[in-house]
Structure 1
Amino acid sequence: MTKVYLALAHQRQRWMNDLFQRGYKKKLKEEDLFELEERNTSSKLCDEFETNWKLVVKNAKQTGKRPSLLKAIQKTFGVRWCLYGLLALVKTIRLSQKSLTTTTTGEIINLGATDVLRFDFLPQYSQYILIGPIVSIVFVFLLWQVVGVSSLAGFLVIIIGFIGYSLTGPCFGKLRNKTALRTDKRVRMMNEIVSAMRVVKMYAWEKPYASLIEKMRSSEIDKLLQSSYFRALSISSSYVANKVTIFAVFVVYVSLGGRLVSSQVFAALTWINLMRFPTATIFGWGVEYLSESIVSIRRIETFLLLDEKEASILDDIKINTKRNSASIVFENFTAAWDDVNLAYVAENRDATQRKTLENINLQVNDKKLLAVIGPTGSGKSSFLNAILSELPAKTGGVKVRGRIAYVGQIPWVYSGSIKDNILFGEEYKPERFRAVVKACALTKDIQSLQEGEETLVGERGVTLSGGQKARVNLARAAYRENIDIVLLDDPLSAVDSNVANHLFHECVCRYMKNKVNAFYESFIMYG
């Protein structure tokens, strides 16, 4: 028997031998690994899942009900979902600006790091919720052959166990939901602290923030401990239930006048011990993971229902780039940031919402400069977000024709060289590069650095000043070729008046004169 088992094991692992030999001779690369079938690739499953999810959302809008993520999963994976437990999330990069105000970075991270992982365990154990009762009936039938009607006493104990596990299941779901909310809050706070670490160090706020994080973590651990207590109760009860089943069967058997013999005792113990694992231990785990997965599905549903950038508008921009002239056209455009998101709709929309932009009619043609001037909070950035399709229209619309470059209010750089940050994937052309550097007043700054344009800026541009980051940000947009429209959101606020005057005249008005320039400032001081 041992030889047969070894032979079967050898045949089962034989298909891996070539890969092992290849890995022994050289370092394995991606092309050395086995390829998945197309139907199992993440791209294929992602596209199929996204199509089904949009169909579910469309049907839900028609019926006035909340879309069900579970239906989309069932349509996409069917039986395969029970086997693989795969769920692909591609939502994050498509979130609109409005959606980013209703969710947090901590929540998004927690969804990917914690909630999605529940699906790894659910397919493995959830099937025992159905298998457990069936197996228990089979075992009771076999036990009947040994002790007769006394086996029903054991079956009664098993039924009580099923009921107990089913009642404790919702407790796991509630605790999972409370834990997730506290984890979201803690991760969000940690991200904010890390992103502002220099300010924290400067004002010596390490201890107050450490105390705050410790309190948040303690609150989170309290719920994790409660969940662990329920889990320990569930596991221990599976062992106790086994002994109680044995006790109940033999007490009833003796009470009915039966006489215990060793053959009956050992046979009954064998069946009852074999019954414990599928009907108690794994059944309890299945109920636990099912309850937690329902909470995770609900959270992911809420996330998937957040507004996305409108694909139709983006497609129009791509089509219109083939035309000769660029333009921005507003037609009776009205919009508000405080529109209630579909994911958080609990009651009817308020008809008296404050309008951020109202009844705007405007046309900006090719090679024109549009300056939008106003105090803080007057809607300058909202106007820009409307052009970028980030602020959806309540009435009217906006049409954009041409390729867009955007310079944000907060400069963004990545941990490469100054040259890499300006080129940003574009082909390096020395004359064009020097002209952009000069127009953006970066020549002296680059000359003062030991490595010049090859100087590494560090993580988030830590080696650059605020003004230098703003100018690098502006230079990136100026260097881009095949750009028809440049949107500048208060790009000069971080530089002094002389540099700002140079950037406005040399870069915005002269170097980018052949583009549509939308320029946003709180006040203007350039003559």
Structure 2
Amino acid sequence: MKVQASLQDPTCSNGVVIFTHPPMSATHAWTASPRSFAPMIMPLLDRQALKLAHYADNVGDTQAAALCCEPVTRTTIPAAVLSLVAAIMLGVASQFEHTRSVKPPLLTEIYLLLTIAFDAVRLRTLWGVGYQGHIFKLSTISVVWKLVLLVQEAWPRALGTLEQSYSPEEKVGWINRRMFWWVNPLLFLGSKKDLQADDLFTLNRSLQSGVCSKSFSKISEACYQHITYRTIVLMRGCLVPLIYEKTLSMDPRTAEEYAPVTLMSADIEKIAFGMRYMHEAWGNVIEIALALWLLYRELNYGGLSPILIAVDKLGLDVNSLLVCGATAAAMAPAVGRRQATWVEGIQKRIDVTTYMINSMKSLKLEGLTPWFMDFVQDLRIQEIGYANRFRSFLIYAVSLSFGTSVISPVVGFGIFIALSRSDNGPELTTARAFTTLSLFSVLQNPMSMLLQSVPNLISAVGSIERVRVFLMTENTKEVGFLSSFTSEQTLFPEMENLRDMELNNTEMVNAVEALNWSVGWVSTREPVVKRMTFKIRPSTLTIITGPTGCGKSTLLAGMRGETAVTKGYMKCRYSSAAFCSQDPWLQNGTILSNILGPATYEPRWFREVTQASGLRQDLRSMPLGVQTVVGSKGLSLSGGQKHRVALARALYSRQPLLLLDDIFSGFDADTEKLVIARLFGQGGFCRKHNLTTILATHSKTKLDVKARLASSADYTITLDSKVRFSEKEDSIVSSLPGPSGGDFLPEPVMSDARLSWIVRQSNPDVPHELAAQLETSDASRRTGDVTIYKYYLEMVGILNSVVFFIAVAIFTFSLAFPSR
């Protein structure tokens, strides 16, 4: 009896199908758009009647399982209830699919097939064991009803007025399509008579030529655009690093003449914009040639009217047999010259603007801000004038492209009629006229694209030439001992401990050696510093003094390998160094990011570096601490603070050699004394970590500070009328007090945990409103800003704006009207 009872329960797979089909089917049908089919009333009534019968059968099955004295298990009644729920959901899903789908529902057919198969296995087993109870009878009726429902669901539907719009293959269900029953009517018809073209079925809409051609064109266009823009990105990715590396390998003064910022912005953008049409040029020429040949066959010489009009609009000799290539050739020289003039105007304005921004504080103190603003505005107006001359060619090309497509049919037909009347040639028939109009329409797009792409390509070629000239400029000779060290204040955080670092020349006893060494900037002039000979030992302090313009910065630049002229011999023990210039270079980021650079954050080392550079007190006074944004060129910091940030970055990099170019010029007296003591005093940072330091300082430095530096220095290089190198007899012992001695009070020590918390979250005293303001992004960057368009309209003027919009409306209407 247990075996018989277990065989009466639906299988597990049947339950899975019950749960998965109706929701999926109803969801698929609900998302589809409603369709109007006729006739619908009677088929729907028939379908719902069958659904109700199936539903009643499941109700009886459930009652028999619950009330009759049938052998049951604990899953029999739940299985019967699930079958009842599935019958209800089947009716709902079938109703949705019938009104919203052309062909029979796929999921319903598969659901009925699977449940019939499972129920058939169940009935076969019950029949084999001789069970003849109520559940057996109701299950047999359920299978029969499902078979009837399957036939009805798989039967093709009557679509009424839409019957001819779909092929039989589109209207049949999954079973019918797999069995190819939908082909039988055509086979029967073919057995009775010879098939004609009208007897064949309508082709599946997804296989029609129009749909396939349009889809293929869209896919191929997308692939073409994708590959084209990938090529443009590759070009940009190659040119920008090349310009950057070339800038680092050149004399800084020479690099400024070529304005690498303009090359990497305006010129690269023009190259990217012009290269969008790199395949349009040659492709359109082929299309134009084929279209002109076909037009020549139809209209004789009248088919050449597009070329004649283009040449005539350019003011060229019509008899010179010039074609579109000559059009581009005629425009090329003028376009190139005007573009070069425009780019030079952009470069000049950017240079002046950059200088103004970098010197904003000085300009405000001197009251020159209004004058500079007017000067920059004049340069902008001048630049717009240059741009107008260049863009006039673009406007001319657009007008030429559309004007040619509009006037060419009229001129072409006129020439054909005139020639036909003069020599009794062929007449202009209706077929010839429509064929010719179609060819003119085919010619319109490539002609327009060619005439518009040529100026952009020429502009791109001009920018490429500017980049080429810049890249071909002679590099600075790599004669300094830091020839790979080409960028100011670039950091090389490679060593974990200064005392364990490797030297590139372990045989050298001295840190730096020079013999009759001369350095300068221009090869055609005398060197700035001549015939220097000196030896500097490791872990020492060397001071370079002298009046303004004597060559202190040039000497340090020669050590870095940035000078154009060097003579003699000079060698260094180290392969890298840290450098601080007179004009600190800071990124537009936080103080923390400027100090760390590419290095990782180490709390103890960071605290020691900021202590030695005198930056700790400044960080405490700032609301955001190390998270303070320095601004462009360190605009939010004072001159001394910028120097101290640059100094902290150099110290944090753990380089064995430290080059300092007059970094104390922006310090106040107290800060200057404090930093000198902490760097070069007894137990100072440089002494403690065995740094070899070369410091260039002005000869007019305060007497007390100068005395302290001189007493601490191991070597002194004096640059005036004669280069002098002196060495202190007892260079190891320094009379300068340590960082906590003398007049200097030690700053309160900040714990590592406290400093780490500041680095992560900034100072706790920061107002919540300020922190929220820093974290909130500008929503206008996502949605756009109406004030930008308002500004453009105000600059253009109301009258010009109205005329522009009216012209665009007329052009759009005229362009779309013939196709309506």
TM-score range, shorter chain: 0.7 to 0.9
Residues 1:326 and 1:126: Cα distance change in structure 2 (over 3 Å): same
Within a 5 Å distance, the mapping from 1:46-445 to structure 2 comes to: 87-90=238-241, 91-96=243-248, 99-104=251-256, 107-148=259-300, 151=303, 159-160=321-322, 162=324, 163-241=326-404, 242=408, 243-258=410-425, 259-278=427-446, 280-308=447-475, 321-322=503-504, 327-339=511-523, 350=524, 353-402=525-574, 403-414=576-587, 418=591, 421-424=594-597, 426=599, 428=601, 430-445=603-618
Q: TM-score if structure 1 supplies the norm length? A: 0.73
Structure 2 distance, partners of 1:423, 1:150, is: 73
Partner of 2:707: 526
Partner of 1:19: none
Residues 1:322 and 1:148: Cα distance change in structure 2 (over 3 Å): closer
Contact 1:126 1:289 in 2 (8 A): no
Residues 1:421 and 1:136: Cα distance change in structure 2 (over 3 Å): closer
Q: TM-score if structure 2 supplies the norm length? A: 0.49
Deviation of 1:217 (Å): 1.5
Q: Which amino acid aligns with 2:293?
A: F
Structure 2 distance, partners of 1:189, 1:474, is: 29
Partner of 1:517: 693
Unaligned runs of 5+ in 2: 1-202, 220-225, 311-320, 486-491, 493-500, 709-820
Contact 1:370 1:517 in 2 (8 A): yes
Corresponding residue SS for 1:493: helix
Contact 2:516 2:533 in 1 (8 A): yes
Deviation of 1:114 (Å): 2.5
Contact 1:413 1:461 in 2 (8 A): yes
Bigger drift between 124-133 and 514-523 goes to: 124-133
Residues 1:13 and 1:208: Cα distance change in structure 2 (over 3 Å): same
Structure 2 distance, partners of 1:417, 1:131, is: 51
Residues 1:256 and 1:102: Cα distance change in structure 2 (over 3 Å): farther
Superposed CA deviations along residues 414-444 of structure 1, whole A, max 9, x for unmatched, are 5666555544455555554444444434454
Deviation of 1:515 (Å): 1.8
Contact 1:409 1:491 in 2 (8 A): yes
1:470 to 643, 662, 683: 643
Q: Which has the higher contact order (CA 8 A, sep 6+)?
A: 1
Contact 2:302 2:413 in 1 (8 A): no
Deviation of 1:379 (Å): 0.5
Contact 1:415 1:461 in 2 (8 A): yes
Structure 2 distance, partners of 1:148, 1:414, is: 68
Deviation of 1:140 (Å): 3.6
Structure 2 distance, partners of 1:337, 1:316, is: 18
Contact 1:326 1:516 in 2 (8 A): no
Contact 1:127 1:286 in 2 (8 A): no
Residues 1:136 and 1:382: Cα distance change in structure 2 (over 3 Å): same
Deviation of 1:449 (Å): 5.2
Corresponding residue SS for 2:658: strand
Corresponding residue SS for 2:333: helix
Residues 1:200 and 1:273: Cα distance change in structure 2 (over 3 Å): same
Structure 1 distance, partners of 2:411, 2:610, is: 82
Identity %: 21
Superposed CA deviations along residues 331-360 of structure 1, whole A, max 9, x for unmatched, are 433332123xxxxxxxxxx4xx23223232
Structure 2 distance, partners of 1:273, 1:41, is: 28
Deviation of 1:183 (Å): 0.7
Deviation of 1:178 (Å): 0.6
Residues 1:458 and 1:85: Cα distance change in structure 2 (over 3 Å): closer
Structure 2 distance, partners of 1:179, 1:139, is: 37
Q: Which amino acid aligns with 2:240?
A: L
Structure 1 distance, partners of 2:260, 2:377, is: 22
Structure 1 distance, partners of 2:248, 2:533, is: 23
Structure 1 distance, partners of 2:515, 2:559, is: 12
Please identify the structure whose Cα radius of gyration is greater.
2
Contact 1:327 1:365 in 2 (8 A): yes
CA RMSD of aligned residues (A): 4.0
Deviation of 1:175 (Å): 0.9
Contact 1:422 1:476 in 2 (8 A): yes
Residues 1:291 and 1:421: Cα distance change in structure 2 (over 3 Å): closer
Superposed CA deviations along residues 49-107 of structure 1, whole A, max 9, x for unmatched, are xxxxxxxxxxxxxxxxxxxxxxxxxxxxxxx7899897532122552485332344993
